Structure 1
Amino acid sequence: MTLPVLTHDVRIVDTTLRDGSHAMAHQYTETQVRATVRALDRAGVEIIEVSHGDGIGGSSFNYGFSLTDEMKLIAAAREEADNAKIAVLLVPGIGTADDLRRAHDAGADMVRVATHCTEADVSPQHFGVARDLGMETAGFLMMAHRTSPENLAKQARIMVDAGCQVPYVTDSAGALLMHEARARFEALLAEVGDEAWVGYHGHQNVSLGVANSVIAHEAGVRYVDGSLCALGAGAGNSPTEVLAAVFDRLGIETGLDVLALLDAAEDIVRPYLPRWPKMDRNAIVQGWAGVYSSFLLHAERAAERYKVPAHEILRRCGELGYVGGQEDMIIDIALTLAAEQSRG
């Protein structure tokens, strides 16, 4: 399997227009996408991810409807990017092979196939379609804290054998402590590092996304994800502009223009933020209890509707071990809490 040629020490992938879609309640406009892609492209970002927060095909009652058809957003992004590649996320069971073909036709150059950290065996058919289309491929092993480093590496092996060029340690809950993140990076590199690049996707729920990104580079990880203004699920992603500044201070080459990214964050993204991603009680509980970051808005809506605490909904999601795709169970928890309150 041929791997992408990397020209820098670290390849920063920006997910403002995909993971950020969670925080935007999937209400991105074409104008916002075009402006953000232009700014990221000018700043030297090589890969820009664009799709519904839950991936292509995610616009639905269960996950939230997109304001603008995602294929239209992908096509708009492709038109604005002079140098950057456009990536999409695909979660098997939400997105289909046909969705992937349509995304490719719209201009997507890369797909990141995302599965729960112990379910990589549902990904091979999607990697096969992507490779047939000539797309670059990455694999997201989501909720990476929920399995051991050794088993995570075995799951990465399944993806790489299926055609994945970049398996990711994906800290969907922002829960990994620094030693836990390092152990997973080292396990994946030991298993597939001679055959694939390794990536890291972090969240800021306990404020370790950037720190873990530095540890990732020290371990040998070459792909690192970020979002402008940290825009993403939960407390947000590792901020792209902060990653660029930190790596620059460390003398680690990313090819990114730090000042251009700061301008993009402040002048392009910040004006359309529905709220600034923050480490408040709800987001911290997600990282502490190991809860999927995209549950945040769902839990807050249920809390308001049923007059129960959102942080308690999230804590119970952690206790019950819910994972991405089980957003509908949040309502059950809220109803249970409401019944408990009424009994007093």
Structure 2
Amino acid sequence: MKIMDCTLRDGANVVGSGFSEEMTRMITEGLIASGINIIEIGHATGLGSMKNGGKSAPVTDEGYMEAVQPYVERAEIGMFQLARNVDEELIHLAAQKKLSFLRVGANAGDGKSAERAIKCVRDAGLAAKYSMMKAYVLTPDELAEEAALLESYGVQAITIMDSAGFMFPTQVAEYTEKMVAAVSVPVGFHGHSNLGMAQANAIAAARAGAGFVDCGLMGMARSAGNITTEGIIAAFQRQGACIEYDLYRLLTFIDDKLIPAMAAYGFHAPVTPLDLVLGWSGCHSSFLPLFREAAQEKHVDLYRLVVEVSAIDQKMPTRALIWSTAEKLAG
């Protein structure tokens, strides 16, 4: 299972239409340092949006490409491209700036309108991903049929987008299963949290054969937010997947850098890293005072201590167990 982080694109809706260059670099560095190397950046509504009358962002399309130049050899970095805003000049600029992909997007049922955009992306030498927005407006069979058409145009990965957070896990599973059977390219899922189903839907998509999921740090995205990057990695790691990602390092980045930076925009994490660790490990919050005391006294990472102790005793961890585990972590 691969993680495609969209914080720097969909998450830009939280701050307007785009992050600053400084925030773009900071978040890119935090993701790459944690092993997340498929990253979508740029204007919230994609490449060429401002040129076509979209909301202004603090950075131009070329400015976003420039901001990630130190990282293009270390990760697959790309941008979103609404089919209706296709611009050959900008697409070739993305290729010149060594971006890895453009993800063409159109509403489900409008795939034929995206053929030119897909061809332009492929002709420029970029990978052509595709987002089927508002996937639920078609039946699973209709969506799978359109996916096959898109593959014939040259699309190399397809995302089922639950754009309004409308879908249930059973629906996601059916849509995913039928699409996986209809195409040979990777199928992914992009979920929103309007009904609180985003994480569960991502797990359902994975079980049905999806090869990647979209997500955002702290769930940052339009409306009720996306699948949280840290949350879905934790959930998948509980199931033995996504072990290549350094969740501890990612949570430290969120605590130390991202949460303080986003406070200026009035944004707060719906689930803090600490609360996520409690759920990941099965630790009841009533034990936190003991864990904090031991972590501070022994100078060890609180999150690692909680996880290590909980692997031994989730029900009633003793002071002796917590301190002996802290001593082992301290080396």
**What's the TM-score bracket when you normalise by the shorter of the two chains?**
0.7 to 0.9
What is the aligned partner in structure 2 of residue 56 from structure 1? 47
Q: Aligned with 1:164: secondary structure?
A: coil
Closer, same or farther in 2 for the Cα pair 1:253/1:162, shift >3 Å? same
TM alignment of 1:13-162, pairs within 5 A: 13-59=4-50, 63-162=54-153
Query: In structure 2, how many angstroms separate the alpha carbons of the residues matched to 1:18 and 1:27?
Result: 7
Q: Aligned with 1:67: secondary structure?
A: coil
CA deviation string 1:148-200 (max 9, x = no partner): 111111111121111111111111111111111111101101111xx211111
Matched, 1:251 2:257: no
TM alignment of 1:1-344, pairs within 5 A: 10-59=1-50, 63-192=54-183, 195-273=184-262, 274-276=265-267
Give the TM-score normalised by structure 1: 0.74
Query: In structure 2, how many angstroms separate the alpha carbons of the residues matched to 1:99 and 1:203?
Result: 29
Q: Structure 1 stretch 131-140 or stretch 56-65: which is displaced more?
A: 56-65
Q: Aligned with 2:6: secondary structure?
A: strand
Gaps in structure 2 of 5+ consecutive residues: 271-331
Shift of 1:110: 0.7
Give the TM-score normalised by structure 2: 0.77
Look up the equivalent residue of 1:253 and give its one-letter code: C
Shift of 1:263: 2.1
Look up the equivalent residue of 1:248 and give its one-letter code: Q
Q: Structure 1 stretch 57-66 or stretch 138-147: which is displaced more?
A: 57-66
Closer, same or farther in 2 for the Cα pair 1:62/1:30, shift >3 Å? same
Task: Work out whether residues 231 and 277 of structure 1, in 8 Å CA contact, stay in contact via their aligned partners in 2.
Answer: no
> For the aligned residues, what is the CA RMSD?
1.8
Shift of 1:56: 0.5
Closer, same or farther in 2 for the Cα pair 1:156/1:210, shift >3 Å? same
Q: Compare relative contact order (CA 8 Å, sep 6+) and give the higher one, 1 or 2.
A: 1
Shift of 1:266: 2.5
Shift of 1:27: 4.2
Query: In structure 2, how many angstroms separate the alpha carbons of the residues matched to 1:120 and 1:268?
Result: 40
Task: Work out whether residues 49 and 87 of structure 1, in 8 Å CA contact, stay in contact via their aligned partners in 2.
Answer: yes
Task: Work out whether residues 235 and 278 of structure 1, in 8 Å CA contact, stay in contact via their aligned partners in 2.
Answer: no
Task: Work out whether residues 137 and 166 of structure 1, in 8 Å CA contact, stay in contact via their aligned partners in 2.
Answer: yes
Shift of 1:213: 0.8
Q: Structure 1 stretch 229-238 or stretch 56-65: which is displaced more?
A: 56-65
CA deviation string 1:229-283 (max 9, x = no partner): 111111111010111111111111352111122123233322232233788xxxx
Aligned identity (percent) is 26
Query: In structure 2, how many angstroms separate the alpha carbons of the residues matched to 1:90 and 1:261?
Result: 28
Q: Aligned with 2:85: secondary structure?
A: coil
Query: In structure 2, how many angstroms separate the alpha carbons of the residues matched to 1:254 and 1:129?
Result: 36
Closer, same or farther in 2 for the Cα pair 1:107/1:82, shift >3 Å? closer
Closer, same or farther in 2 for the Cα pair 1:254/1:150, shift >3 Å? farther
Task: Work out whether residues 232 and 277 of structure 1, in 8 Å CA contact, stay in contact via their aligned partners in 2.
Answer: no
Look up the equivalent residue of 1:63 and give its one-letter code: G
Shift of 1:46: 1.8
Shift of 1:72: 1.1
Task: Work out whether residues 18 and 44 of structure 2, in 8 Å CA contact, stay in contact via their aligned partners in 1.
Answer: no
Could you list the runs of 4 or more consecutive aligned residues of structure 1 that deviate by over 4 angstroms after TM superposition?
none
Query: In structure 1, how many angstroms separate the alpha carbons of the residues matched to 2:52 and 2:129?
Result: 27
Query: In structure 1, how many angstroms separate the alpha carbons of the residues matched to 2:63 and 2:172?
Result: 36
Query: In structure 2, how many angstroms separate the alpha carbons of the residues matched to 1:74 and 1:142?
Result: 24
Closer, same or farther in 2 for the Cα pair 1:220/1:254, shift >3 Å? farther
Closer, same or farther in 2 for the Cα pair 1:191/1:269, shift >3 Å? same
Task: Work out whether residues 235 and 277 of structure 1, in 8 Å CA contact, stay in contact via their aligned partners in 2.
Answer: no
CA deviation string 1:121-146 (max 9, x = no partner): 11122222222222222110001111
The number of aligned residues is 268
